[in-house]
């Protein structure tokens, strides 16, 4: 059986210059039983993915999938599964590339080897790194070549599927998608809201909150007596919307804090709320306008954004369909589940 090695150029840089400088397996290891690093986790046809292969790939994924220095057990399981998935994918695609006789220029392989040699840390020999990794220069070139072949096929297929998706996702396709997914294109109910905010200093205690309420209540009384909301907002409101007469713009129903949403649900267009307390102080809100939920017309959709979304979905569907087909050509066995 063969054993897979990570094959993309960036991966080689990571492995050879970060992880592998040093003996891969010492003589002493043989005296303490089977090396757990050599345990086969997955077999893909005649290629084995070992625990060592898996750990190396996981180390490359951790910076991408984890945002903290410590990684939880749950997150590590997710990263492990992602690594297995990617390694299996690499082997399956490489196998397909070789079946299709995909080739790359030997000059590209040679150039990549030279780039990696230049990255060898001072005090270390590239030949020694290969030796400690149980590889010859031929093995190394073969792995690089395989990586380039696999990447070339992936690029070619993605470009092919993108071209097909471009032809598929036309205006008729958008219209059909729209009609089959009408609930997705419902514009939620929304409100045009204004506010007058009288702030309360949290450090001022009850006195500050009492003063805030009294002022907002006096403004509320003036409004109920026919006062001009816009002018009062410009004169008294203590937020960035004051200069606009308190206009907050359009907001979707249910998108504000619970206490504000509840108060707004109890008044009609043109009416105001009694003073409402929030973290910032007391507010007097007004509903300037209201639009009920309604179905967006196809003509009013952002066709460019919808096309981009559906193009991506169609490209991914074609890719997944292709990958499922080529995966059936090879037997994939998960050995890590045998211990459970």
Instruction: Report the topology of domain 190-291.
Output: Chitinase A; domain 3 (3.10.50)
pLDDT surpassing 50 at residue 24: no
Q: What is the pLDDT of residue 8?
A: 42
CB atoms within 10 A of CB 216: 25
pLDDT surpassing 70 at residue 221: yes
pLDDT surpassing 70 at residue 88: yes
Contacts of 96 (CB under 8 A, 6+ apart): 153, 326, 329
203, 214, 189, 220: which is closest to 290 by C-alpha? 189
Give the residue range(s) of CATH 1.10.4030.10 domains in the chain.
2-169+317-339
Mode of pairing for the β-strands spanning 332-334 and 190-199: unpaired
pLDDT surpassing 50 at residue 6: no
Q: What is the pLDDT of residue 69?
A: 60
SS3 251: strand
Give the residue range(s) of CATH 3.10.50.40 domains in the chain.
190-291
Contact 228, 325 (CB under 8 A): no
Give 18's pLDDT tier (boundaries 50, 70, 90): very low
Mean pLDDT score of the chain, rounded to an integer? 88
Q: How many CA atoms lie within 13 A of 310 on its CB side?
A: 20
User: At the fourth CATH level, which superfamily is domain 2-169+317-339?
Assistant: Porin chaperone SurA, peptide-binding domain (1.10.4030.10)
pLDDT surpassing 70 at residue 13: no
pLDDT surpassing 60 at residue 137: yes
Q: What is the pLDDT of residue 215?
A: 97
pTM more than 0.85: no
Give 123's pLDDT tier (boundaries 50, 70, 90): confident
């Amino acid at each position: 059986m063969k054993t897979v090695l990570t094959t993309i150029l960036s991966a080689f840089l990571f492995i050879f210059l970060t992880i592998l400088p040093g003996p891969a397996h010492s003589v002493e290891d043989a005296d303490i039983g089977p090396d757990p690093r050599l345990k086969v986790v997955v077999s893909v046809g005649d290629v084995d993915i070992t625990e060592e292969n898996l750990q190396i790939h996981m180390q490359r994924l951790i910076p991408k999938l984890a945002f903290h220095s410590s990684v939880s057990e749950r997150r590590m399981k997710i990263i492990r599964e992602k690594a297995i998935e990617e390694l299996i994918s690499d082997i399956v695609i490489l196998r397909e590339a070789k079946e299709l006789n995909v080739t790359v220029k030997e000059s590209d392989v040679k150039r990549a080897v030279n780039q990696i040699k230049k990255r060898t840390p001072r005090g270390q020999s590239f030949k020694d790194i290969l030796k400690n990794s149980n590889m010859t220069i031929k093995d190394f070139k073969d792995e690089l070549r395989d990586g380039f072949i696999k990447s070339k096929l992936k690029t070619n297929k993605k470009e092919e599927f993108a071209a097909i998706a471009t032809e598929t996702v036309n205006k008729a396709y958008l219209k059909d998608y729209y009609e089959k997914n009408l609930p997705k294109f419902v514009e939620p109910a929304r409100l045009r809201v204004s506010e007058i905010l009288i702030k309360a200093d949290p450090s001022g205690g009850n006195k500050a909150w009492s003063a805030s309420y009294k002022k907002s209540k006096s403004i509320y009384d003036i409004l109920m007596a026919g006062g001009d909301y816009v002018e009062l907002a410009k004169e008294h409101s203590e937020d960035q919307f004051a200069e606009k007469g308190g206009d907050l713009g359009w907001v979707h129903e249910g998108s504000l804090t619970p206490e504000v949403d509840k108060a707004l649900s109890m008044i009609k267009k043109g009416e105001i709320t009694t003073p409402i307390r929030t973290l910032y102080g007391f507010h007097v809100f007004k509903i300037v306008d209201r639009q009920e939920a309604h179905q967006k017309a196809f003509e009013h959709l952002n066709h460019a954004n919808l096309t981009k979304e559906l193009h991506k979905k169609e490209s991914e569907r074609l890719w997944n369909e292709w990958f499922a087909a080529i995966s059936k050509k090879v037997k994939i066995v998960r050995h890590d589940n045998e211990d459970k």
